[in-house]
Every structure is written in C-alpha cells, then in structure tokens.
Amino acid sequence: MWQQQDGVSSYAYANLLAGGTWGTGARISDAQGPVMDTHVKMDAAGQARAVWYQPAGTTGSSSTTVCSNTCSPGTGWGDSGIVATLTGIDGYFYYPVPRIGMNSDGDSFTVWGVDSM
C-alpha cells in the first residue's frame, strides 16, 4: 500500500501479491485529497483492510477524516468509506495516527490517537 500523487492531489493505492506474482496496482481511495499514514492488514483467507487519514483541505483546516477500504478475494477492492470525521484536528499540525487490527476470521477494528508536530 502506498500514497501516489498526480500533481494535484494524492490517493491511496494498493497491490496484491498472489501465487508469487504481483498484480496491478489499484487506486483504493475515492476522495481527492492528501492521503497520509497508510496501513493494511490481511487475514488467512486473503481479505485485506486498509486505513489512512485525509486532511479536509489546506493547512489550518479544522477537520480530518479517517478512511478505510476492504479487498475481498476474487472481487478486489471496494469503495472507500469514512470511518470517522475528526473536528478540531487539521491533519497537518494535529493529526490522527490510524492503525488497523484484524483477526483470523476477518473481523477488524480501527483505532487512532492524536499526535502533533
């Protein structure tokens, strides 16, 4: 999983290694905006979940979203969604630090704290 810029914005991308062969990287974030602090977990069945955060706009903006997406074997990545909208956190000077946990059944949870520069 990585962040890729297009000259205007950035998106979350991911790629899957299956059977010893890398697939084609796919954009997994839907909302345009800076993608930061990407993390991914996978269960034994090959289902993956990814989390990241996106500041709402420029430095000084007052909200940030924690986002997620799921990859299922055979169908690939779905549409990304917002896990939480955090107000009073600009995403630059104060930012969430999202992490994801997943058990062997594919049940997952996302946690975050707030850090600062």
Q: Let me know if residue 48 belongs to a domain.
A: yes
Asked if residue 10 is part of any domain, the answer here is: no
Is residue 3 domain-resident?
no
Length reported for the chain: 117
Indicate whether 16 belongs to any domain: no
- pLDDT of 30 > 90? The answer is no
Instruction: Specify which of 4-8, 37-41, 60-64, 91-95 reaches the highest per-range mean pLDDT.
Output: 37-41
Q: Are 110 and 83 in contact (CB under 8 A)?
A: yes
Q: Establish if 89 belongs to a structural domain.
A: yes
The answer as to whether 87 is a domain residue is yes
The answer to whether the CB of 13 falls within 8 A of the CB of 3 is yes
User: What pTM value is reported for the model?
Assistant: 0.86
For residue 52, tell me if it sits in a domain.
yes
pLDDT value at residue 78: 93
Question: With 80 as the cut, is the pLDDT of residue 66 above it?
Answer: yes
Q: Report the number of distinct structural domains present in the chain.
A: 1
Average pLDDT over residues 6-10: 80
Residue 110 confidence (pLDDT) above 60: yes
Q: Examine residue 12 and state whether it is found in any structural domain, yes or no.
A: no
Q: How far is CA 81 from CA 53, 59, 70, in A?
A: 11, 23, 9
For residue 57, the model assigns a pLDDT of: 61
Q: How far apart are CA 56 and CA 53, in angstroms?
A: 10
Range of the domain at 59: 29-116
Residue 56 in this model has a pLDDT that exceeds 80: no
Residue 9 pLDDT > 90, yes or no?
no
